[in-house]
Chains A and B, each alone.
Chain A
Amino acid sequence: MPKAIAALALLFCSTAAIAQVDAYSKLSGSLTITSENGDDPPPGAVKDRVGFVLYGASAKQVYDAMKVKPALNVCEDGMRIKTAGALECSRDEQDNYTCMFAIMLANGRSKPFGSC
């Protein structure tokens, strides 16, 4: 009997340990090396940042994990946005998820990336 209890305890501990291991998944998204306004850079603009766009399951995973409350986005009807510093994740009316942020190449600091 004590052996059975010990075995059960061991099983419980290992299951709990497995549950706490981070799960990794493949990213769906794209990146670009860009400047502050990559759409219309003024002469001499420096490509000083990497802009990331996550979409699909990757973006949903991040959106769902963000604790901040979503706010209605005024530039696209029905779109809800969660913002935490430079990280911005959105969910549109068709349940498409997107996350955007940029990282400065010189110092690794984050910057907002998306535009309206």
Chain B
Amino acid sequence: MLRSQRSNLDYPGLLEKWLPDPELPPAPSQQVDPCGFVQLPQNPAGGGYYSYGTPARGAGQYGIPGTIRLIEDVARQRNGVPFGVGNISLAKGGRFDPHKSHRNGTDIDIRPLRSDGAGRPADWRQPGYDRAATQALIDAFRASGQVRTIWFNDPAIKGVRPYPKHNDHFHVSVRSTCPKR
């Protein structure tokens, strides 16, 4: 195999044939700025998630590509009911009242899952909350290796930390090396 490769590389002109033309623009997958903001696709059919929250029409659902990809990947890998995605960041980042974070496209609010599978609000202190399904969803985010912290107040859920007002959603903070906005 090594000999074959060596032989190919030595063949005049063959190597150049397979190298990208420096005059051509990079492939679309390489054009994405890893720190540029993109909007979460809104309620794609069969996407495994749905959007909720204000401002309307996903105006608060912009993130760096890694954040959006994480949501899509977790949604694709799961076979359960769709989960609700709320605030991420505004289109240009920066202050997003009344959040302290959600500025850099790396914070995602997600509804806990309900036992009736409905796409409605849920609170871990209220009937209708599905702890097992919520734990599985949180595990799926954590298994990605891209999560810094998850804030959620249900003390029976593993892999999360409590923070005030995180009863009706959990907050996924994604690792990032992008500059702050």
Residues of A within 8 A of B (CB): 30, 37-43, 51, 53, 55, 73-76, 79, 81, 90, 93-94, 96, 98, 100, 112-116
Query: Given the interface contacts A37-B168, A38-B54, does A93 sit within 8 Å of B95 by beta carbon?
Result: no
Cα of A25 to Cα of B11 in the assembled complex, Å: 77
Cα of A90 to Cα of B103 in the assembled complex, Å: 14
Interface hits, B22-56 → A, CB 8 Å:
52-54
| Consensus secondary structure, chain B interface | loop
| Consensus secondary structure, chain A interface | loop
Cα of A38 to Cα of B55 in the assembled complex, Å: 11
Please, which residue of chain A has its CB at the minimum distance from the CB of B53? A39
Q: Across the interface, which residues of A come within 8 angstroms of B98, CB to CB?
A: 38, 51, 53, 100, 113-115
Interface hits, B134-181 → A, CB 8 Å:
149, 151, 161, 163-166, 168-169, 171, 173, 180
B121 in contact (CB, < 8 A):
yes
A40 touches B52 (CB 8 A): yes
Q: Across the interface, which residues of A come within 8 angstroms of B168, CB to CB?
A: 37, 40, 42
Cα of A114 to Cα of B165 in the assembled complex, Å: 9
Interface pairs (27), CB distance under 8 Å? A30-B97, A37-B165, A38-B98, A40-B52, A40-B109, A43-B120, A53-B98, A74-B149, A74-B163, A75-B100, A75-B163, A76-B103, A94-B180, A98-B95, A100-B98, A112-B164, A114-B99, A114-B100, A115-B99, A115-B164, A115-B165, A116-B99, A116-B100, A116-B101, A116-B151, A116-B165, A116-B166
A40 touches B100 (CB 8 A): no
Query: Given the interface contacts A37-B168, A112-B164, does A42 sit within 8 Å of B101 by beta carbon?
Result: no
Q: Across the interface, which residues of A come within 8 angstroms of B107, CB to CB?
A: 116
Q: A37-B165, A115-B164, A116-B100 are in contact. List 5 more A-B contacts (CB 8 A).
A: A39-B87, A40-B121, A74-B149, A75-B100, A90-B100
